[in-house]
Amino acid sequence: MLIIPLSRKLTLQTFPIMTALLVVVNLFVFFALQAPDGRVIREFVDAAVKSGLPQLELPVYADWRSSKGERTLAPSPALLEDPRYLAQGALAMQRDRAFQRELASRMKKALASEQFAQWQTARAKIDPIWQKNFTERYIFVPANTFVETYVTHMFMHADFGHLFGNMVMLVLIGLLVEAAAGPLRTGAIYLVGGIGALLLYTLFSTERWVGMLGASGAIAAMMGACAALYGFRKVRFFYHVLFYFDFITLPAIVVLPLWIGNELWQWMQYRDVSNVAYFAHIGGLIAGASFALLLRKTVAVRLENAATPSLEKVEDLARQHARAYAYLKKMQWDAAGREFEQLLLQVPDNLDYARQLYTASRTEPASTRYHWGARQLMKLTAKTGASTLLGQTIAEYWKNAQPAPRLSTDEIARYAKILAKEGARDIAATLTDALIRLPEAKMGNVDLADVLLTMAVALYRASNSDEKKLSRQYMETLEKRFPESGQLKLARQLVSG
């Protein structure tokens, strides 16, 4: 049975790029970086057995475990001659981090000075082999923490079953979270949650030497974020059972029992051998939910678009849509503009709504609606690659807007570069000249040198002599205002004559 949440139609614009990236990174770490660990372990065990170290260390290991209250018998002489026992013992001792911490001091007590020196020499030869173990280097150990392991642990897994279960849940939950929160916030939730899981766990387990790894804490944060963002809002799920498939609308919180089921299954499968601290996931859940609650206001519009609208809301949108076009047909511009403004607020990626809003509000070039509609149309045309419409809109808006255009310096710079590259060099030059006239204090974060570089190169490549002349003017401005810039050096390489 396959269940996939499809809160909205997947397109290039809505593709969950961060969820996909997180899955790819987890797969890469497991198959490319952790996979060689098996060979490293075999190399270490072979070298340890050949060195004779297990015969010296295993009796000391048995005494150490007995001192911890464990029922452990010292190995018999026969066992110390058995290669399989020595190999298993060498690996068990090496994986016991608490014992390794005390190994040197205990061996010094157990051996004579000359024999201890020989032991040190032999150990120095096999320890570098173990240090090549990627998992061992980057796993999180509460009693011996390193800053980087707070992050690395959440991309590593114990085995393929552990990886597969986590990646299935990451896709299921990530699709919903990214639809509402966007890619960057989704990545932040994953990282914050993984770290939050460790912080809560280590608060009560600072002396534990058992390593922790796996994406489960981060996925728990995604689950907490999903619950905080959606609650009982309904989203559309695609499901597939054998040869039957269909769509069904359910509350987003339905993924919670699936996550709990995955946690219980992994706990039953790996509770005796896994390095994952399952009960620390509550820390990830709390961290993710708390972070998402802080984001609710900033993702409100995305959340509304991600959740499946009710039938009543769909009907309201349809009526409003029909009403807006009826006003437009009757040339009732103010009423049409008001309706299209409301429609665009509810469906912000609709290029047609933005175009009609701009058309309806052109009769009032000083109105807030006209300025806002023009900026929305420019943003969407730039996003969808409709450069011809973008150039036409900016040229008309720049000419008619009253008392003046209300584009930010960032918008002016971005559109100038887009239009220069697309061949609309007249309006691109108008925008660039507006930036050049601005005082430095009003430039904001705009990289004027980059804009001048783009214009100089684009105009130089044109066949028109007037445009080549204008290219030289931009080069002169670049040389005058940014004489030491990398953009000037690049421009000189690209523009000559």
Segment among 126-140, 314-328, 407-421 with least mean pLDDT: 314-328
For 2-34+147-306, the fitting CATH number among 3.40.50.10860, 1.20.1540.10, 3.90.1150.200, 1.20.1250.20 is 1.20.1540.10
Q: Which listed CATH number (1.10.10.10, 3.40.710.10, 3.90.25.10, 1.25.40.10) goes with 355-494?
A: 1.25.40.10
Distance CA 179, CA 201 (A): 30
pLDDT at 245 over 60: no
Quick check: 310 and 246 in contact, CB under 8 A?
no
Instruction: Work out the average pLDDT over 291-313.
Output: 64
Count CB neighbours of 70 within 10 A: 9
Mean pLDDT of the chain: 83
Whether this prediction's pTM lies above 0.75 is answered by no
Q: Which of 10-24, 159-173, 324-338 has the lowest mean pLDDT?
A: 10-24
Gyration radius from the chain CA atoms: 32
The lowest-confidence range among 354-363, 369-378, 453-462 is: 453-462
Please state, in angstroms and as integers, the Cα–Cα distance from residue 422 to each residue in 84, 203, 288, 416, 474, following that order: 71, 57, 43, 10, 18
The confidence score (pLDDT) of residue 302 equals 63
Mean pLDDT of 256-268: 69
- Domain assignments of the chain as residue spans, ordered by start: 2-34+147-306, 37-138, 355-494
Element (H, E) at 255: helix 255-270
Q: Which two tokens stand for residue 96?
A: 């016991």
Helices (H), 68-215: 83-95, 97-110, 113-130, 134-138, 149-152, 160-181, 183-204
What percent of the chain clears pLDDT 70, i.e. is strictly above it? Answer: 84
378-396 pLDDT tens trace: 998 888 788 888 889 999 9
Residues in the chain: 497
- Predicted pLDDT at 272: 53
- Three-point CA angle 51, 56, 57, nearest 5°: 100
Max avg pLDDT among 64-73, 262-271, 325-334: 325-334
Q: Is the pLDDT of residue 240 over 50?
A: no
**Which pLDDT band, with edges at 50, 70 and 90, does 307 fall under?**
low
Average pLDDT for 346-374: 90
Residue 312 has pLDDT above 80, yes or no: no
Q: Helix, strand or coil for residue 8?
A: coil
Regarding predicted confidence, which is higher, 315 or 203? 203
Average pLDDT for 233-257? 56
